[in-house]
Structure formats: structure tokens, C-alpha cells
């Protein structure tokens, strides 16, 4: 099934927040590739768009499946959009391993950003929404997105990768902005605020 067919007809779902058990436990592999999965993916795309994110894992809508969707540019600002089931990320080693540190955020801890160094190139293998094998090589923000979303499916949130000091700052930011995000966000929209999103950042 073409990705374009999955971009319509979805229902916006509440985004699950850090602290919920599903966000901090490994997911189950996707084994059934049919209409039910397609409907979930449609809902995930609709939810990601409503939240203005670049990636969304199934755990972020409360489902413990190894699945994520993304709509994200690469290092050359070329947009990429797709679905990964049962993804595995491989990172370069040795001379090919370059770290890039930028502000990173998460839709499940809305409004908070801290710098995190990640490898600037990532190869993700897995299956598409119909179970066919796929491989995507991501650079720049897309590489970060592939790593961030695959982390989610292993029960890791990006705050787990921060130092204690930066993690404390991240949670402080989230607490200060929590009043802007209803419990069912993005079903209910974010409240207006003068605080803007950092220019060089991404929420996933």
C-alpha cells in the first residue's frame, strides 16, 4: 500500500506521556499486516500531523507494537515519509561515525528541548505496512528521527540519554509549559503561548 493512501481518513489520538508504563517497556513485534494495522497507521499519521511532529511511535498512542511513522527531512532538506514495522537501526563505526548535537524534543514530553548528540547517519531496516522488507538510510534530522523512534520501541525515551543536569532542565521546562497542553493533546489543541519552538529542533 502506498504511503499516500495512509495519510487520509485517520483519527487524531491523545499522545501518551512519559511516565506511562507503555513508554518505558519494549514493544511486541508486528506480526499481522492487514486492515487493522493500516487503520492504526492512519491514526498515527493524523496524530503526528496534528502535533506538528516529524515522527511518532506506536507507544506514543498507547500501543505496544514495534511500529513508527515519520515525515522528516534529511540533511539536504529532502522530505521523507514512511512507516516502519519491526525496525532495526545500524549506526556507522570508526571514521564514518560523526556526532551532531542539536536541540531534541519529544511529543510525549511536549514543549521541552535539550541538546543531545546523535550519530548523523543511520540505516534503518524493517518492514513496511504490508510486511515487505525495506531499508532507509537517513542523514541529518532524518537520522536523528530514525534513532529516536527506534529508541521508543525499545522503551527508551531521549531523556534517558541525557546527563542528570540536562534531564533535570528538560523536566523543568516541561513542567513550566504543561498548562499549555491539555491531557488529550493534540485532540484538544495547545493553548496559545508566546514561547516558540527552537528553530533548530525536532519533536518526535
**Any idea which residues carry the catalytic annotation?**
149
Cα–Cα distances (Å) from 78 to 8, 36, 75, 144, in that order, read 22, 31, 7, 15
Cell numbers 540519554 correspond to: 161
Alpha-carbon distance 53 to 119, whole Å?
Answer: 20
Residues 99, 101, 106: CA angle, nearest 5 degrees:
120
Contact 143, 121 (CB under 8 A): yes
Name the phi and psi angles at 146, rounded to 5: -60, -40
Contact 112, 174 (CB under 8 A): yes
Contact 114, 128 (CB under 8 A): no
Name the phi and psi angles at 86, rounded to 5: 50, 50
Helices (H), the chain: 35-51, 140-153, 164-177
Helix or strand holding residue 73 (H, E): strand 67-73
Residues across the chain: 204
Amino acid at each position: 500500500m502506498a504511503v499516500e493512501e495512509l495519510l487520509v481518513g485517520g483519527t487524531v489520538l491523545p499522545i501518551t506521556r512519559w511516565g506511562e508504563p507503555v513508554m518505558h517497556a519494549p514493544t511486541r513485534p508486528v506480526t499481522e499486516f492487514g486492515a487493522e494495522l493500516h487503520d492504526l497507521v492512519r491514526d498515527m499519521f493524523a496524530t503526528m500531523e496534528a502535533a506538528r511532529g516529524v515522527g511518532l511511535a506506536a507507544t506514543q498512542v498507547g500501543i505496544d507494537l514495534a511500529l513508527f511513522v515519520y515525515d522528516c527531512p534529511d540533511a539536504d532538506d529532502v522530505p521523507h515519509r514512511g512507516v516502519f514495522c519491526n525496525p532495526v537501526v545500524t549506526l556507522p563505526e570508526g571514521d564514518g561515525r560523526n556526532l551532531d548535537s542539536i536541540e531534541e524534543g519529544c511529543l510525549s514530553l511536549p514543549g521541552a528541548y535539550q541538546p543531545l548528540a546523535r550519530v548523523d547517519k543511520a540505516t534503518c531496516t524493517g518492514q513496511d505496512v504490508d510486511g515487505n522488507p525495506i531499508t532507509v538510510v537517513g542523514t541529518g534530522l532524518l537520522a536523528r528521527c530514525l534513532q529516536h523512534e527506534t529508541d521508543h520501541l525499545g522503551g527508551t525515551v531521549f531523556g534517558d540519554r541525557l546527563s542528570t543536569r540536562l534531564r533535570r532542565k528538560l523536566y523543568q521546562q516541561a513542567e513550566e509549559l504543561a498548562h499549555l497542553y491539555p491531557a488529550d493533546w493534540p485532540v484538544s489543541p495547545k493553548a496559545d503561548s508566546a514561547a516558540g519552538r527552537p528553530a533548530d529542533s525536532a519533536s518526535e
